[in-house]
Structures are given as structure tokens and as C-alpha cells.
Copies of this chain bind each other. A is one copy, B any other.
Amino acid sequence: MKRVGIVGYRGYSGAELIRLLQRHAHVEPVLIDHREAPGGTPAIRRSTPSARIPCTGQAVHQEGLAVVFLATPPEVSMELAPVMLSAGARVVDLSGAFRLRTPENYAAWYKQAHTQPELLAEAVYGLPEFCRNLIPAARLVSNPGCYPTAANLALRPLVQAGVVDRAAGIVCDAKSGASGAGRKPSLKTSFCEVTENFSAYSILHHRHVPEVLQVSGLEEHEFSFTAQLLPLHRGILETIYFRAPSVARVEDLLAIYERQYAAEPFVRLFNPPHVPDLRGVARTNFCDIGVAFDAPTKRAVVVSAIDNLVKGAAGQAIQNMNLMLGYPETEGLL
């Protein structure tokens, strides 16, 4: 039984990490108090609270934490990642701090300087379906963003197979539940603003765009992305449009996915005309992918769905941890 730490355990991703780790056969979670206050009387009598330690390298070292999850904003992750690594823990960072390849790209999209360029150079991008071989030896794994996870699992096999008409452009219309905005109260995510409403934000300029480009191989001018807020708790569904001039039948597109994902435990393909919905992925680590194709006009639509808190955050982080620690990749996640 190894011990693993969580910084930011009161946020939605952090709470999901606790929930999932409690089912894990080989690790147990330790809460790391960063700015969290002591807490007061627990609501439930006779509940055994999780172990808690202060957010210092010394405490992490003493506890012998094998992995520390940083479920924190990028500026906090840049500050804490070197502390945890020096304390002997390996790190899975759930923020955007270490996802883009260069400090320049980070500065351009996150509007702040990157303070850890050496760690950025070292960080391994933790999308197991495409980077699995690098993760076991990594000290620092950068957990992918929620929108890019759904987009890249849908797009990269097709782009690599050369079937997407890139000149005509690819549209990714993305919708996310409110938990994607985090737990910090704000008017934008208050109940009365979200219920019975639907709204777009960050049109064409969301900071997750460069992550899609980096993994899929597309260029910015080829890829139009809009993020939108759904009146529901969890889930991301992306409707992706493109033309596939060399494709004859919908089965050809499916065959590309079948080849890519034959052995993948967390990617599920749909039989046309079925396409995924959010109900099917809620509280799972699956990415569900379905395809529609109009043969005469070569227009294709791919629907990709994940739970933003699981495959889009905490679940994928545990998938990465499993790879780092040599456990079965699906442990605690099925």
C-alpha cells in the first residue's frame, strides 16, 4: 500500500481524486493542506477522516509519498512541483502549467510568464493513448486538459491517417458541464445563472486550443473551437465537423479508430447510427466516440464524450499514476 498526496483536495477535481482513490487496491490518499482551513466538526459522526499533512517538502518527504497530485491553478503548480520533486515524490499536475511545449507558447495563451522552464522541458504529457511509453519513467506528468482529451482522442487518428480535409477546416463545437469551471463561487457558475441557460465563451481563443493543435497535428487556422456551458454538473461532449474526401463509407472512418484503439481499455467506439451522450460516460473514465458520414458530400461528424472530472481530470491522473507506479492501468477505474 503506497501513499499518494493531493493538493487542492477541496476543488472538484481534488474531491474526485479522493473518491476514486478510495476504491484503489494499492494506494491510499493523503490530503495536503495548502490553503485549506482546519475544517471543524465533520458532518457525519464516526467517520474516519483522511490523513492530512501540511504543504511542505519536509512533510511530503517524511510521509514518503510516492506521487503527489497537484489539483491547483497553474501558478500554484509551477510553485509546488519543484518542492514535491525535491521531496522525493513524483508529480501528476492537473493544471495547464506543463502542457504546452515551450515557455513562449505558455506565455502567449496563459498570459503569464512560465517560471519553471526546465521542468516544462522535462514534463511528459499524460495522454496514455498516445504517450504511454514515456509515462512509466516520468518524474513529472502533465495531465491533459478536459477539452483537449476529448478532441485529441477523436481527431489525432484521423489526422494521422490523412483522411481529414485540413484546407476546408475542422470545427469543434464543445459543451461542458459547470464543474469544469471549478468550485470557486462566481456569478457565472451560480445556479440561477446556469439553470435553464446555455452560453458560449472563449470563442476561437480558448487556452485549450494550443493543446489540441500540439497533439492532433492541426494548425490554428485549420481548427475552430468554441466552448459552451451546459446546465449540468459533469460531462464534456464535442461535436466535430470536417470533410473526408477520400473516405467512401462510415465504416472506413470506424476502421481507423478500430486500428488505433483496439487494445485501449478506456476508448469505446459506437456502432452507427448510435452516437455517444453524456449519460453514458458520467462517472466513468471512458472516452466514447461515434461517427456520422454523408457519403455523397463527404461530410463527417464525430461525437466525442467524456466525464470532465474523470477522463478529463482525476481519472486520467490516476491512469497516469498507475502507469508510473507499475500497477494495472485500469486499477480503480473500472
Contacts and interface: CB of A to CB of B under 8 A. Distances in A.
Contacts of A198: 175, 230, 232, 235, 237, 277-278
A220 B301 CA distance: 15
Given A183-B192, A193-B279, A196-B279, A204 B268 contact: no
The quantity of this chain's copies bound in the complex is 4
A195 interface: yes
Contact of A204 (B187, B277, B282, B301): B301
B173 A274 contact: no
A183 B191 contact: no
Nearest to A296: B221
A141 interface: no
Interface residues of A, number: 74
A271 B44 CA distance: 6
A59 interface: no
Interface in A189-212: 189-200, 203-205
A254 B258 CA distance: 45
Given A173-B173, A299-B204, A195 B197 contact: no
A187 B195 contact: no
A190 B192 contact: no
A254 B224 CA distance: 20
Contact of A169 (B243, B258, B283): B243
Contacts of A52: none
A110 interface: no
A234, A270, A271, A278: most-surrounded residue (chain B CB, <10 A): A271
Interface string A147-171: 0000000000000000000011101
Given A178-B191, A179-B192, A271-B45, A226 B301 contact: yes
Interface in A224-240: 224, 226, 228, 230-235, 237, 239
A292 B195 contact: no
A233 B277 contact: no
A196 B269 contact: no
B233 A195 contact: yes
B232 A173 contact: no
25 contacts: A44-B269, A44-B270, A169-B243, A169-B299, A171-B241, A175-B175, A178-B190, A178-B191, A178-B195, A183-B190, A185-B186, A189-B191, A190-B191, A191-B193, A196-B233, A196-B282, A197-B278, A198-B230, A199-B275, A199-B279, A200-B303, A203-B273, A203-B301, A226-B239, A228-B239
